[in-house]
Amino acid sequence: MEMRAIYAECLDRLMAQDKHVVLLDADLAKASGTIKLREKYYGTQIFDCGVAEQNMASIAAGLSSYGFKPWIESFTPFASRRICDQIAISIAYAKQNVKIVGTDPGISAELNGGTHMSMEDIGVLRSIPELVIFEPVDGVQLRAAMPVLNDYPGAVYVRLFRKELPDVFPADYKFDLFKADVLKEGRDLSIFVSGMLTKDVLDAAETLEKDGVSCDVINIHTIKPIDREAVLASAKKTGAVLTVENHNVIGGLHSAVLEALAKEKIPVCAVGVMDRFGEVGKLPYLREAIGLTKENIIRTAKEAVTLK
Amino acid sequence: MKQNLKKIALDIRCDVLTCIGHLGVGHIGGCLSVVELLTVLYFEAMRIDPKDPKMAGRDRFICSKGHAGPAVYATLANRGYFDKKELLTLNRGGTNLPSHCDMNRTVGIDMTTGSLGQGFSCAVGVALGSKLEQDCATIYTLIGDGESQEGQIWEAAMFAASKQLDNLIAFTDYNKLQIDGTVEEVNGIAPLDEKWRAFGWNVIDVEDGNDIDEVSAAVEHAKLGKGSGRPTMVILNTKKGCGVKWIEDLGAGNHNTNLSAEQAEAAIRELRGEA
């Protein structure tokens, strides 16, 4: 099942339960998978703002001030850098309860190419005080997270991969918005990963194990506030760290982990977007071009261990 | 003649001068230009209760030109939301009265504003919320003429008309000045009335936006827009720095300017006819 279908199914449930849950769109309901919800909710709980994301963000803040629980959605670049000031002032500074969903993060924008391929959204938003940043890794986690996000009384940015992702978590997964999830335990290296690359990291860890490198694999689903305890505990245990993300290594997960480990003498290597823009292409091409491959994860993991 | 409202407007104007003079600097021009509007809204038009500032279904005022905060605070204090003495804390460290409106700090403030253009969209969101709740509230909002250069204003204008938010009454403080010069020199917005009409709004033009009777009549007129299916824009032709000759004469220079306590006192004496 596609992530957007799960997202829409969860929103449907939340809107059916509470008429104060509302969804605002900026002409991308089809892409976000929420167009079908309009049959039930358009004009009462769903509104299309047209191609005007800034207005959408501030309208959501106004609705929140009136007691509503607004969700807004667009492609990642238009749900972050385009509306950065509206997120900062109308939403975060004003302490409004708005959930901001950015779809197609990083290279997953594929054929829309560089203009739609946000390598910087986490970096742009992470420096806005009090904003929570969440990136789900699979449908199980997203399903568990949606009601928690809806109930969280503050602003959250949700970085949502739209298409299908392989399941990483078991059906009985227990979700905590502020706790990282240990997916695999090891001795030699800590790999912190967010979003769509999590399954690749698990596959890489299997190969690494055979090559004699035993890895902790930890999913950082909430990049801000990062679970410092989990990061510190694992990094101190293994003594070497690798971060893996579909985002610029400047400003995203790599930076967040480095900040958590600033006082530790532990090497930290990165697999991510090496400060470059995106380009058009399908995922297999883009993974190779940008360096987000299982092979690169394995190579960089081994390098991290040698730096101990 | 609304003698009582005129006296209140005089008190508010004097309080704005006192609190900015006490600090020594502030957004005097754009505060003094909107005193008559704030007086009419808070003392005549709005369904509000200072003893119950969060009353459900109350009318709301969102000051999108957030730098007019001191004028709103002086109005709220005169209306009984908080003690007038608090006005002297304006913009001091730890105050509840920051230069720009903050709903999380100040009793009676309905929305945080200051980044121009955004408060207007927020007001549109509030108007939509009120429609959904069917609570019959009227949502008032004030934008600046310089602020009208923000693209977000026109995004919100389009949306409000498209969603038929006739519970929304907006005002433009059309004092024709902004920080760098006259609005027409910097980036012209005229003809403002035709723009708003073209965006699907009812438009009311007020020749003297610093005349209590004219403003009061315009607000009454604007309220009739409920049921029209259109939001209403009231264009207030105002004078930036209105009421104090030398401040008015600063022109664009009065946007954010120094004002000593002595100058404020002298201006107040002049206003009260004690000079």
Instruction: Give dist(CA A204, CA A198) in Å, integer.
Output: 10
Predicted local distance difference test score (pLDDT) of residue B56: 95
Mean pLDDT of B174-182: 97
The pLDDT of residue A189 is above 80: yes
Helix axes B118-133, A53-65, angle to 10 degrees: 50
Mean pLDDT of A73-81: 98
Which residues of chain B make contact with A61, given a CB cutoff of 8 A?
Answer: 111, 118, 121-122, 125
Instruction: Give dist(CA A261, CA A102) in Å, integer.
Output: 28
Predicted local distance difference test score (pLDDT) of residue B275: 57
- Put simply, the answer to whether B115 touches A61 (Cβ < 8 Å) is no
Mean pLDDT of B157-169: 98
Q: B129: nearest CA in chain A?
A: A63
- Put simply, the answer to whether A58 touches B128 (Cβ < 8 Å) is no
For A278-308, b where at least 16 C-beta lie within 10 A, e where not — what string? beebeeeebbeebbbbbebbbebbbebbeee
Q: What is the pLDDT of residues B50-82, one digit of tens each?
A: 999 999 999 999 999 999 999 999 999 999 999
Tokens matching residue B125: 């969101």
Of A62, A88, A95, the CB nearest to B126: A62
Q: What is the pLDDT of residues B252-272, one digit of tens each?
A: 999 999 999 999 999 999 999
Residues of A engaging B, defined by a Cβ cutoff of 8 Å: 22, 44, 47, 49-50, 52, 54-55, 57-68, 85-86, 88-90, 93-95
Question: In terms of C-beta density within 10 A (0-12 exposed, 13-18 middle, 19 or more buried), how is residue A192 classed?
Answer: buried
The pLDDT of residue A46 is above 70: yes
What residue type is B112 in one-letter code? T
- Put simply, the answer to whether A58 touches B152 (Cβ < 8 Å) is yes
CA of B152 vs chain A CAs: smallest distance (Å):
6
Question: What percent of chain A stands above pLDDT 90?
Answer: 100
Residue B167 burial (CB count, 10 A): 24
CA of B127 vs chain A CAs: smallest distance (Å):
8
What band does B3 get if pLDDT is binned at 50, 70 and 90?
A: confident
CA of A222 vs chain B CAs: smallest distance (Å):
26
Instruction: Give dist(CA A137, CA A168) in Å, integer.
Output: 7
What band does B1 get if pLDDT is binned at 50, 70 and 90?
A: low
Of A22, A65, A88, the CB nearest to B122: A65
Q: Rg of chain B over CA atoms, in angstroms?
A: 17
Q: What pTM was estimated for this model as a whole?
A: 0.97
> The complex's ipTM?
0.96
CA of B140 vs chain A CAs: smallest distance (Å):
13
- Put simply, the answer to whether A59 touches B124 (Cβ < 8 Å) is yes
Predicted local distance difference test score (pLDDT) of residue A291: 97
Strand order in the sheet with A268-273: A181-184, A215-219, A189-193, A241-248, A268-273
Tokens matching residue B150: 């923000």
